[in-house]
Amino acid sequence: MTAAPEQRPPFPPFTLETAKQKVRMAEDGWNGRDPAKVALAYTPDSRWRNRSEFLQGREQIAAFLTRKWEKELDYRLIKELWAYTDNHIAVRFAYEWHDAAGNWFRSYGNENWEFDAHGLMQLRIASINDVAISEQERKYFWPLGRRPDDHPGLSECGF
């Protein structure tokens, strides 16, 4: 007997509603900061370009996320749908974090996502820029974890 394929609804082709749902699910996962759990949203052979780093497969993705969240402390992320079609979604995002020395940053970027028929991400291309901010410039203050539903999104925050 063959194992059923892994599935991660919603599935392509995406509608406006399902694309927004997929984006929020990704945001929630990343805000949970559990590398092994987040890696399960990607195909076993998923390919990534994250800044200047090229990754392939869940093991490399989980290792990357472990390093990321060890460095980027008090990480809080907001993603926003930019465009979608069939099995592709484009998002823009901003996240705030600080380093071990207490220096705060806001990281802005765009991601292009491609999904397989089972709703797993098979390709992620991310372009990201970091901007040093003062603690007074922070805009994300919810408790660590999922962004509350009533918290403003990127556009409402002026980003």
Give pLDDT tens digits for 32-73: 999 999 999 999 999 999 999 999 999 999 999 999 999 999
Residues of the chain with pLDDT under 50: none
What amino acid occupies position 159? F
φ/ψ (deg, to 5) at 125: -120, 120
What residue has token string 């806001």?
A: 106
What is the value of pTM for the model shown? Answer: 0.96
Q: Is 150 helix (H, G, I), strand (E, B) or coil?
A: coil
The CATH class of the 16-142+151-157 domain is alpha beta
Q: Which pLDDT belongs to residue 5?
A: 77
Q: Which residues make Cβ contacts (< 8 Å) with residue 31, sequence separation at least 6? A: 75, 76, 77, 144, 145, 146, 147
Domain coordinates of the chain in residue numbers? 16-142+151-157
Q: Which pLDDT belongs to residue 1?
A: 62
